[in-house]
Structure formats: structure tokens, C-alpha cells
Structure 1
């Protein structure tokens, strides 16, 4: 399945819905079909979006800073996510 290749901190682009075309980080993998995504702007960490994996275009970019902070349950802020996505948006 596709979710076997997904990781927390991975950059994805929404391909459908209101968020279409926007970049997000995967915050949590629910199961093989769903993940939680957030970008720190419209979709904040306090209320991440539950999204089907098939509605996401995934990139082979995993931000280690975001991944490590989320997995170690450190204080991750929306501003931190925005800064990291802005850096990556120019590269993708």
C-alpha cells in the first residue's frame, strides 16, 4: 500500500478539496488510508486535517526537524511549520 512509504514530517500536496494545491506536512499516520496533515496557516496543529492518502501527492522530502519534534512530542508551533514549508516550497 501507499502508506508504507509515508512518514511523519513528509511533505505532501493536496490534490482535491478546499486545500487543493497547498503543501502540508504529515503530522500523524492513522492507518493505510488516512493521515492527519497540517501547514500551520489554514490547517493548524490544534486542528489538523484528516485526509485520504489517495488525495495527496507525496514528495520524497522528509523534514527531519519536523519529524523529530513531532515524534519526541516536543513543542511544535504553527510558525515553525510555516517557516519550514516556505523553505521547501521554493525547492519543490
Structure 2
């Protein structure tokens, strides 16, 4: 069984299965069976992608810009998500 702490909000993850295989997302929420993923472009904060935990590969890194938003209590926006993914891919 997976530990829920592993799927912390703001963590980067790759899709391992489905039509979006290989796509990079940011986890915004998790429960014991699913994670909710956003990329800021196609899957926005308002309508995240629901994906089974076994179908993602966690990258144990939270981008600095996302970490700042979480620590300061600010709401994470789609622009923050897009920027964080773009910086990670550079």
C-alpha cells in the first residue's frame, strides 16, 4: 500500500499510462486510491485530472515557486503550475 504523505500537494509526477503517458503534472490533491493532477494548460486547477496512483511516477521534488505559494498560504494558480513545469523541464 502507498503512503499518502508521498503524494504531497505540489509534487511533480509523470503519467505512466493512458493517452497522456509521459506527460508531466503537478499533484494538487491525493486520497488513498487517486491523485488529482494539473498542468496549467489542458488540466487546470478548476478541473484536475483524476488518475490512479499506480499510473503515475512521482518525482520527489516540489518546485520552489509552488513551495513558496504553499508556505505563504497563497492560492496556487494555473500560471504558477505552468511556470513550475516549464522550469523543471529546462
1:56 maps to what in 2? 56
Residue in 2 aligned with 1:20? 21
Instruction: Structure 2: state its 5+ residue gaps.
Output: none
Work out whether residues 10 and 63 of structure 1, in 8 Å CA contact, stay in contact via their aligned partners in 2.
yes
Query: What RMSD, in angstroms, separates the aligned Cα atoms of the two structures?
Result: 1.8
Q: Which residue of 1 aligns with 2:36?
A: 36
Moved over 6 A (4+): none
In 1, the alpha carbon distance for the partners of 2:75 and 2:60 equals: 25
Give unpaired runs (5+ residues) of structure 1: none
Give, in whole Å, the separation in 1 of the partners of 2:75 and 2:41: 17
Distance of 2:66 and 2:32 partners within structure 1? 21
Residue 47 (structure 2) aligns with: 47
Tell me how far 1:75 sits from its aligned partner: 3.0
Give 1:35 shift: 1.1
- Distance in structure 2 (CA, Å) of the matches to 1:5 and 1:75: 21
**What's the TM-score once normalised by structure 2's chain length?**
0.83
Aligned to 2:66: 66
What does 1:4-15 correspond to in 2, within 5 Å? Answer: 4-15=5-16
